[in-house]
Structure 1
Amino acid sequence: MQLTRLGLVALALLLVTLGCSAGGGSPASTTGESGARGTFVLGLGSEPDTLNPVLGYAPDGGSLMFDGLVTRNADLSLKPALAERLPKATGTSVTFTLRQGVKFHDGTPLTSADVAYTYQAVLDANNNSTIRGDYTAIASVEAKDPATVVFHLKYPYAPFLQRATLGIVPRRTLEGRNLEKAPFNTRPVGTGPYRFVSWTPGDKVVLEANPSYWGGVPAIKRLVMAYAVDDNVRATRMAAGEFDATELPPKAASRFDGQPGMTVHRVPSADYRGVMFPLDAPVTGDKVIRQALSLGADREAMVNTILAGAGRPAFGPVAPDTTWHNPAVDGSPAPDSARAVRLLEEAGWKSGPDGIRHKGGTPASFMLMYPAGDSLRKELALAFTSDAKKLGIDIRLAGLDWDAIHTRMDRDALIMGWGTPFDPDYTNFELFHSSFSGQGYFNPGHYKVPQVDALLEKGREESDPAVRKQAYDAFQRRVHDDAVWAYLVYLKHVYVIRGKWTGVTPGVEAHDHATGGLFRNLAEWKPGS
C-alpha cells in the first residue's frame, strides 16, 4: 500500500531509532519490503525476461542466485567459483574439478552432470537460447565423474575461461522439458548466495540469503530488486527513501552528491551509446549520410552536458584503455561539420529550399528511436538530431517501449547500447557477423561484409594474442570506415547507495550493469560503522 508523505517520514524516523535497516538508512518502500531487519531494496532500470541462465539470464556472472564455474574480481581477473581451481586452458580440452559439498537451493548436490547439462542446453537449438552464439566453440561437454567435467572445443578458443561465468542449473529439474515454457524460468533454483522467494512481474523480485552458501552467508538477509524503467522515477523513489541503492544517469544522480548518508559511485565502463543504422533503409543505407552524421556529432558537448563529465567520447565498439582498442579509429570529440558538408555535397546530397538535403528526389530524413523512460538516451537523441540539422539532415524522434522498437529496427535508426571489457569476441561477433543479421538486437542493421566475417572468425579461432590483435584492429578499422554505427559516448555507470557499507568494490563494467555491475558482489557487503 502507498504510504502518505507524513507516514513515510514518521516510519523512517521510527526505523532510525530502532536501527533496523540493513544499510544504516531506513527507507519505507512501496514494495512493502524495505525497513524490515536485514532487507535491502535495489532500484533497477530493467527487468529480465527470464531468470534462467540457459536462456540468457546474467551469463557474465551478475546473478546472485547462480554461480558459474568461475567468477571475476573487481579488476576483471578470474577466480574459482564452483570450480575448485582455475584450469589451464590449453589446446582443445579444458578440465574443471568441482568444489566439494556444494548444493542447490533445494538441497540436492551439484555434480558435473549439472554443468554438462547447462552448457548442452545452451547449445541445443530447440531451446532458442539468446546466448548460444557465445558458446559455439564447444564441441561437447563430458561429465567424466561426479566432480570432473571436460569441455572439448572445436578449436583453441582464447576467451573460453571468460565464458565459464555462466550460471549452472540443476539437470534433474529441467531435462526433458520445453525450456521456453518451464516453470523454472520464473521460479529458479541455483547454488548462489541468494535463493528465490517471489517474482511480481513489472514490480520486483524478492530473494533471501542462502543459509548453506559455500561462500558464507550474506549479511543482507533479504534482497528486493524493484524495477522502475523511468530514470526520474528511480531518482524520486531513492530520494523518498524507498530504495537503499539504485542506478541512475549522471545528471539524475548529481542531486545526491554531498547528501548526508548517501554515496555516489561513478564507475568506469566499456558501455557505449551510439546510433544503430538500418543499412537496408533508403537514407541510412547511404554510407555518406552515416559518415557525415558521425563527423557532425559533437561528442565533447554530449560528455560535458548530458553525462555531466561522467564518460568519454566514443568512436568504436572496443573501449579505449583496453588492450584490444585500435586508436587509429579515434577522431576529434569536437564536430567537423565542414568536412561532413563537403562529403554530402560531393555525393549529390544538395540542400533544398526547406534546408533539408535531397538526392534524386529523396529527402535526407529518417526516424530515430529511443526507449521511452531512458532520459540519457533521449538526451543523446536530441543532441544528435540537433547536430544533424546543422548538416541539412532531418531526424524525427520516437520514444517507444522495447516491444515497439523491436519490430522497427530494420527500418528505423535506434539509440543503442552495448560494450564489454572482457574480450573483443564478446558482443562484436553477434553485432557484426552476417550470420546474426536481423536476429533481434544482434546485428539489427543487417551488416553483411565477408571480410568482416573473416576477421571476426580469425579473432575467435586464433590463440596467438598478436594475431588476434591484428584481426581486431582491422575489424575496428573496417567498421569505422563503413560507419555502421555513429558511436557517441562511453559511460561511467553511476550508482547511489544509502548508508555505509564495506565490500563495495567498483571495477570496469560491461553494458549489462544492473546486478552485474557494482551490485555483483552484494552478498559480500557488510554494514559499516
Structure 2
Amino acid sequence: MKKNLLAFWAALGALLCLLSPYAGAAPSPAEEPVYGGRILMGTIGEPSNLIPYLSSDSASQEIVDLLYVAPLKYDKDLQIVPWAAKSYEVLDGGRLLRFVLRDDIRWEDGVPLTADDVEFTYKTMIDPKTPTAYSGDFLAIESFRKTGRFSFEVRYEKPFARSLMTWMGAILPKHVLEGQDLMNSPAARKPVGAGPFRLLKWEAGSMLTLGASDTYFEGRPNLDEAVYRIIPDPATMFLELKAGRLDMMSLSPLQYLRQTSGPQWDRDWRKYRYLSFSYTFLGFNLSHPFFKDVRVRRAVSMAIDRQSIIDGVLLGQGVPTVGPYKPGTWAYNDTLSPVRQDVDEARKLLAEAGWRDTDGDGLLDRDGQPFVFTILVNQGNTARINTAIIIQSQLKALGIGVHIRTVEWAAFIKEFVNKGRFDALILAWTITLDPDIYDVWHSSRAKPGGLNFTGYRNAEVDALLVEARS
C-alpha cells in the first residue's frame, strides 16, 4: 500500500488530577458524591464551532460532548447502552435498527426532543451542502423512517459494522437549526443542547464556562460548573496548575518524570499513566509536486529515526507504531515493524526520482528547483514542534531543506488544514474504539473540509475499507 503518512508513536498519556484543595488522602470510593463546586481545566486551542459534526478539532469536540446527547453511548465498561433512546433493537441480520426515544428529554430552551430532531440530523448529514467531515456513516443508510413521535427505524442495504456507533453521534435541534446557514449560525457560539451541561459564557481567547443543566434527563450533574481556560502554552498551563488555578491537565513527559514528584505532589495530586488511544504522524500534501512520487515519500520515511524522536521528544514515554491502530488491540497488526532508518536506501530512492545535488550547495535539486519544504505545526504543542526540529535535522543530512511554521490552533485548522494549504504537517489522530478509518483514508473523504486532508487516494484501500465496514 502506498503511504502518505509517517506514524511516529503511540504516546504514553499522563494525566495529573488535583484531589482536593486541602491536604489529605483521596476520598474513599465508597463515599457519596456531593453537589457543588467546579472543575478547572486547560485547553491549548479555542473551539472552532460548537455545532456537532461541523468541527473535527478536539477542543470543540470535548465541549460538544457535554452539551448534546445521542441515542446510544458507551458505559464505563465500554458496553453500548441506550442514552437518549429508551430501547433499541438490531434486526434482520444487522440490516434494520429500531429505536424508541425517551419522552422526557428537553432541549435547554424547554422544547421536547423527538424523532423529528433525529430525522433532521439524518437529513442534514446526507445533504451535500452540509460542510461536515462525518457524513460517511449516514450515507451508508438505505432508508430512515419515523415510526412515531418518539420512535424511528433505520435500514441498511447490507450489514454495516459501524451502525451503532453512528447513533452515538449527537442529535441536532431541528427547531434551532432548520433553514439556517450552519456555518454562520448563532448556535456555533450559542449552542442549544440537551446534555448534562449548558454553555454559560464564552470569553474569546480566555475561557468557556459550562454550567450544570437542571433539566438534564439523567439528573443534574454533581459539579456546578466545568471551566475550560484557553492557555496556548503548555509551560504556562503547568504553572497555572502548580498555582492551583487548574484542577487537572495532561502532562508532558518532562513534567511527568521530573517536575511532579515530592511530598506535596504525592499528598495532593494523583498521576495516571497509560498508552494513549492516539498516534502522531507527519502527513504529506499529496497535491504538492514533491510528494506525488511515492519514492520521495518512502525516502523521507526511511530517513527518519523514530526511536530518536521518542527518546528526544517524549523522553522514552512512547512506542513506535505502524499504521492507525493502538498496539495491543485486536486491530493492530503485530507482524509488521516500523520503518527502520536507512539513509543510504533513502538516497537511492531520491536519486531514482531525479533528486541530486547538482550544484554542490548541500541541497538536492531537480530541474533547477531545490528540495525545500515547510512542516506546519500548531502553536502550544511542544512535542510536535520538537519533533519537527528533529525531522529538520535528520532530513538536512539527506540534502533536504525543511522550514518549520507554527500557527495558532484555530487558524491552523480553518485556514491551512481544511483548505489544504500546507506542504506537510504534524498532527495526531485519536484512535476510536471501533477501528473503522473510512472517514480519514477513503478517497471520497479527500475533499475540502474532509478528514482526508492529505489527499490520499488508493483504489485497493478504498475497496478494503468498504469491505471491512460490512
In the alignment, is residue 161 of structure 1 matched against residue 164 of structure 2?
yes
Tell whether the 8 Å contact from 1:47 to 1:227 is kept in structure 2 after alignment: yes
Counterpart contact for 2:415–2:421, Cα < 8 Å: no
> What residue is the counterpart of 1:39 in the other structure?
38
Q: Is the 8 A contact 1:55 1:122 kept in 2?
A: no
Equivalent positions of 1:97-496 (< 5 A) are 97-254=100-257, 255-258=259-262, 259=265, 260-331=267-338, 335-351=341-357, 353-401=360-408, 402=412, 403-406=414-417, 409-425=420-436, 428-440=437-449, 442-460=451-469, 462=470
Deviation at 1:345, TM superposition (A): 4.2
Provide the rounded CA distance (Å) in 2 between the counterparts of 1:275 and 1:424: 21
What one-letter code is carried by the residue in structure 2 that aligns with 1:219?
A: N
Contact 1:195–1:209 (Cα < 8 Å) also in 2? yes
1:361/1:72 CA distance change after superposition, 3 Å: same
Q: Please give the per-residue CA displacement for 1:86-134, whole angstroms capped at 9, x wherever unaligned.
A: 5326443211122342322233332222222222222223332332234
Cα-to-partner distance string for 1:258-311 (whole Å, 9 max, x where unaligned) = 524122323323311111112232322332221122122221122223123332
Deviation at 1:408, TM superposition (A): 7.2
Distance verdict in 2 for CA 1:393–1:99, change over 3 Å:
same
- What letter is aligned with 1:344? L
Change (3 A) 1:114 1:407: closer
Deviation at 1:190, TM superposition (A): 2.0
For residue 66 of structure 2, give the secondary structure of its aligned residue in structure 1. Answer: coil
Secondary structure in 2 matching 1:87: strand
C-alpha separation in 2, matches of 1:446 and 1:136 = 20
1:199-221 CA distances to partner (integer Å, 9 max, x unpaired)? Answer: 22222221111223332322211
Letter in 2 for 1:419: T
How far apart are the structure 2 equivalents of 1:240 and 1:339? 51
What CA distance in whole angstroms lies between the structure 2 residues aligned with 1:134 and 1:25?
Answer: 45
**In the alignment, what sits opposite 1:76?**
78
> Structure 1, residues 447-480: CA drift from partner, whole Å, max 9, x if none?
23323322222223x2xxxxxxxxxxxxxxxxxx
Write the letter of the residue equivalent to 2:49. T
Q: Return the offset for 1:85.
A: 3.6
Q: CA deviation at 1:174?
A: 2.5
Segments of 5+ residues of structure 1 without an aligned counterpart are: 1-21, 27-35, 463-529
Deviates more, 1:109-118 or 1:321-330: 321-330
**Deviation, structure 1 residue 360:** 4.2
**How far apart, CA to CA, are the structure 1 residues paired with 2:366 and 2:311?**
35
What SS does structure 2 have at the residue aligned with 1:117? helix
- Cα deviation for residue 414 of structure 1 reads 0.9
Q: Is the 8 A contact 2:36 2:222 kept in 1?
A: no
Give the Å deviation of 1:411.
4.9
Task: Report % sequence identity.
Answer: 29
Once the two structures are TM-superposed, the CA of residue 436 in structure 1 deviates from its matched residue by 2.6
Do the aligned partners of 1:438 and 1:445 also contact (CA within 8 Å) in 2? no
Which of 21, 38, 56 pairs up with 1:25? 21
d(CA) in 2 for partners of 1:76, 1:316: 23
- The residue matched to 1:184 in structure 2 has which SS? helix
Count of residue pairs the alignment pairs up: 428
Cα deviation digits, residues 169-190 of structure 1 (max 9, x gap) = 3322322333333322222222
Contact 1:288 1:343 in 2 (8 A): yes
User: For 1:300 and 1:434, how far apart are their aligned partners in 2?
Assistant: 31
User: Is the contact made by 2:208 and 2:228 (CA closer than 8 Å) also made in structure 1?
Assistant: yes
Tell me by how many angstroms 1:61 deviates: 9.8
Contact 2:357 2:363 in 1 (8 A): yes
CA distance 1:381–1:153, change in 2 (3 Å): same
For the residue of structure 2 that corresponds to 1:256, the secondary structure is coil
Residue-by-residue CA offset, 1:236-260 (whole Å, 9 max, x unaligned): 2222222112234333454234524
Displacement over 6 Å in runs of 4+: 57-62
Secondary structure class of the residue paired with 2:129 = helix
What's the Cα RMSD here?
2.8
Secondary structure class of the residue paired with 2:326: coil
SS at match of 2:416: helix
The TM-score normalised by the length of structure 1 is 0.73
Amino acid at match of 2:293: D
Partners of 1:293 and 1:234 in 2: CA distance: 34
Contact preservation (8 Å) 1:257, 1:264:
no
Kept in 1, the 8 Å contact 2:198–2:213? The answer is: yes
Determine the C-alpha separation between the residues in 2 that align with 1:253 and 1:43.
17
Distance in 1 (alpha carbons) for counterparts of 2:147 and 2:163: 19
Q: For the residues of structure 1 that align with 2:335 and 2:454, how far apart are their CA atoms?
A: 24
Cα displacement string for residues 39-66 of structure 1 (whole angstroms, at most 9, x for unaligned residues): 2211112222221125347679961111
Unpaired runs of 5+ in structure 2? 1-17, 23-34
Check whether the contact 1:70–1:81 (CA below 8 A) recurs between aligned residues: yes
Alignment match, 1:88: 90
